[in-house]
Structure 1
Amino acid sequence: MEQDWESRVKGLLKAELKRRDVTYQELTEKLAGIGVAETPENIANKISRGKFSAVFFVQCLDVLGCHTIRLND
């Protein structure tokens, strides 16, 4: 059951990155702009595992300019 939630959250973040054509390197730079130090490798690992904090998720959405997120299709 836990895996389903991780996959869902990972999918939401990956979809927003793809929708905006943003690479992990670019996300790293955007996060640095708000004082969040990450490497592209760390971001790739976090997203791949689907294990990251709600704070990280919201920080990513914020720097991507995503102000709303749809949870259901």
Structure 2
Amino acid sequence: MGGNSTLQWRTVVQRLIKTEMSRRDVRYQELSERLAAVGTQQSADNLRNKVNKGILGADLLLQILSVLQVKNVNMQELEDIFTDIQGR
């Protein structure tokens, strides 16, 4: 994984969050509620837009991973996503 385009990195962020949400069967409304419970106000629509564009701050990314109870981010998975999108 190198210093490639911002668009590719945004796609990695998008897929990471969507994968973790899918693994836990969490929809955007529930994600919004979980974030609200820790003091972060984000509507379901706002979250959907940010995730679909892959554009969100590091603080929100970490909060999302936290409320989804992600214990590890597998760097090999991220590299696989990155390789997949480079191959297109």
Q: Using structure 1 for the length normalisation, give the TM-score.
A: 0.95
Alignment: residue pair count: 73
In the alignment, what sits opposite 1:20?
A: 24
In the alignment, what sits opposite 2:52?
A: 48
Q: Give the Cα–Cα distance (whole angstroms) in 2 for the partners of residues 52 and 71 of structure 1.
A: 19
Measured on the aligned residues, the alpha-carbon RMSD in Å equals: 0.7
Q: Give the Cα–Cα distance (whole angstroms) in 2 for the partners of residues 46 and 71 of structure 1.
A: 22
Letter in 2 for 1:16: E
Q: Give the Cα–Cα distance (whole angstroms) in 2 for the partners of residues 29 and 19 of structure 1.
A: 18
The ranges of structure 1 where at least 4 consecutive aligned residues each deviate by more than 3 angstroms after the TM superposition are none
**Residues 1-73 of structure 1: pairs in structure 2 closer than 5 A:** 1-73=5-77
Give unmatched runs, 5+ long, in structure 2: 78-88
**Which digits, 9 at most, give the CA deviation of each residue in 1:37-63, with x for residues without a partner?**
010000000001100011101100101
Q: Quick one: higher RCO (CA 8 Å, sep 6+), 1 or 2? A: 2
Give unmatched runs, 5+ long, in structure 1: none
Q: Give the Cα–Cα distance (whole angstroms) in 2 for the partners of residues 63 and 35 of structure 1.
A: 11
Q: Please state how far the C-alpha of 1:2 moved relative to its aligned partner.
A: 1.0
Q: Please state how far the C-alpha of 1:9 moved relative to its aligned partner.
A: 1.0
